[in-house]
């Protein structure tokens, strides 16, 4: 019969040597519970929660994930002002948070505050928005990793869908995001990557709509007056601006054009209301940009503190939805 080794056996023997493993285990247990018990304080510098439905869902995903993961989330919102956001990141450094998560309002001008974070030994994780550092700072590891969607792919996917739908012949109005914001720059480039292959596809007008339906609506009202039925399609850089375009077209009784039929509309984000308009056939296609980054970014941030390393870029998976496949996917939309 195999004799069971009582824990006392382990503790029984009087030789010091035998206590070693026991002490080690006690220490290990202590460390694990201490590490588990440690509540990390993570500073999240958000660009502007009020700018779009996407950003609201993004902010909520961080708040929910922080609760779930037991993280002390210090949240600051820059209200769309980049100088305010830089100041807020500096405040996180002064408050000695454990990690800084940055969703940069604009791509440029982050070198000095990220150098300060590095000096303070506070790791920085970029969420959603990419930044561009000065050449001399690009190899200094000023951020651990970036997690988000491939904005250039999104622009290309929108262009490719439109090229197929119009057999490569279309006069296009583009409603961009704010100048200087990574998604505006990259989606614009990606879209033009595809247009460059189709001489029959032309951008006849392009203007920022600041991510907002009301501003995009005003821009589109003017273009309807200037270009009217000459417009074949609109590329809106996000859902909310696409909603403003639909309203502008519907309210222009004089032209009597129908959104999604007489004027094609392709957008980016793919939130629930966007899906509703796809199903109503008022929007034609939406390239998904998933805002639910909270959990993965905060998990990565905590694992960085536990010494884990990550690749410099981590992409979310995004799909293209059209008026033909939106209904099937609608029920599963989480944002």
Is 43 or 155 the residue whose CB approaches ligand AHR more closely?
155
The C-alpha atoms of residue 152 and residue 59 are separated, in whole angstroms, by 23
User: Which residues would be at the binding site for ligand AHR (CB under 6 A)?
Assistant: 51-52, 54-55, 128-129, 183, 211, 238, 268-269, 289
Is 40 or 217 the residue whose CB approaches ligand AHR more closely?
217
The least CB distance from residue 327 to ligand AHR, in Å, is 23
| Short-list 331, 287, 298, CA closest to 58 | 298
In 31-168, DSSP assigns E strands to 41-46, 72-77, 99-102, 124-127, 145-148
Q: Listing from the earlier edge strand, what are the strands of the sheet with 170-176?
A: 201-208, 170-176, 233-236, 264-269, 285-288, 320-322
The C-alpha atoms of residue 30 and residue 216 are separated, in whole angstroms, by 57
The least CB distance from residue 244 to ligand AHR, in Å, is 12
Is 77 or 128 the residue whose CB approaches ligand AHR more closely?
128
Structure tokens at 31: 């460390």
The least CB distance from residue 35 to ligand AHR, in Å, is 33
Structure tokens at 64: 């929910």
The least CB distance from residue 204 to ligand AHR, in Å, is 23
Is 41 or 273 the residue whose CB approaches ligand AHR more closely?
273
The least CB distance from residue 169 to ligand AHR, in Å, is 28
The C-alpha atoms of residue 168 and residue 47 are separated, in whole angstroms, by 36
Is 106 or 269 the residue whose CB approaches ligand AHR more closely?
269
The least CB distance from residue 219 to ligand AHR, in Å, is 16
Where is 192: in which H helix or E strand?
Answer: helix 182-195
Is 104 or 263 the residue whose CB approaches ligand AHR more closely?
104
Where is 171: in which H helix or E strand?
Answer: strand 170-176
Are 323 and 281 contacting, i.e. CB atoms less than 8 angstroms apart?
Answer: yes
């Amino acid at each position: 019969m195999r004799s069971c080794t009582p824990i006392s056996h382990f503790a029984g023997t009087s030789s010091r040597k035998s206590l070693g493993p026991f002490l080690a285990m006690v220490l290990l247990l202590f460390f694990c519970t201490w590490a588990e018990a440690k509540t990390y304080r993570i500073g999240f510098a958000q660009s502007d929660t009020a700018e779009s439905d996407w950003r609201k869902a993004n902010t909520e995903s961080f708040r929910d994930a922080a609760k779930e993961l037991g993280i002390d989330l210090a949240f600051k919102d820059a209200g769309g002002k980049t100088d305010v956001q830089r100041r807020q990141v500096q405040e996180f450094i002064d408050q000695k948070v454990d990690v800084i998560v940055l969703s940069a309002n604009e791509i440029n001008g982050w070198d000095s505050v990220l150098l300060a974070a590095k000096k303070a030994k506070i790791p920085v994780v970029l969420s959603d928005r990419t930044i561009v550092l000065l050449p001399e700072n690009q190899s200094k590891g000023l951020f651990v990793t970036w997690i988000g969607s491939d904005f250039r792919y999104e622009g290309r996917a929108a262009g490719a869908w439109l090229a197929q739908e119009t057999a490569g012949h279309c006069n296009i109005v583009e409603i961009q995001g704010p100048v200087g914001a990574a998604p505006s720059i990259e989606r614009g480039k990606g879209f033009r990557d595809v247009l460059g292959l189709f001489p029959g596809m032309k951008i006849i007008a392009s203007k920022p709509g600041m991510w907002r339906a009301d501003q995009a609506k005003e821009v589109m009202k003017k273009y309807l007056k200037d270009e009217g039925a000459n417009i074949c399609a609109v590329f809106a850089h996000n859902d909310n601006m696409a909603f403003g375009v639909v309203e502008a077209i519907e309210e222009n009784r004089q032209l009597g054009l129908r959104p999604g039929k007489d004027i094609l509309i392709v957008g980016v984000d793919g939130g629930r209301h966007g899906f509703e308009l796809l199903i109503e056939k008022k929007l034609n296609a939406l390239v998904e940009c998933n805002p639910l980054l909270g959990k993965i970014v905060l998990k990565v941030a905590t694992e960085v503190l536990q010494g884990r390393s990550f690749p410099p870029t981590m992409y979310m998976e995004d799909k293209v939805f059209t008026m033909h496949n939106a209904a099937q996917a609608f029920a599963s939309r989480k944002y």
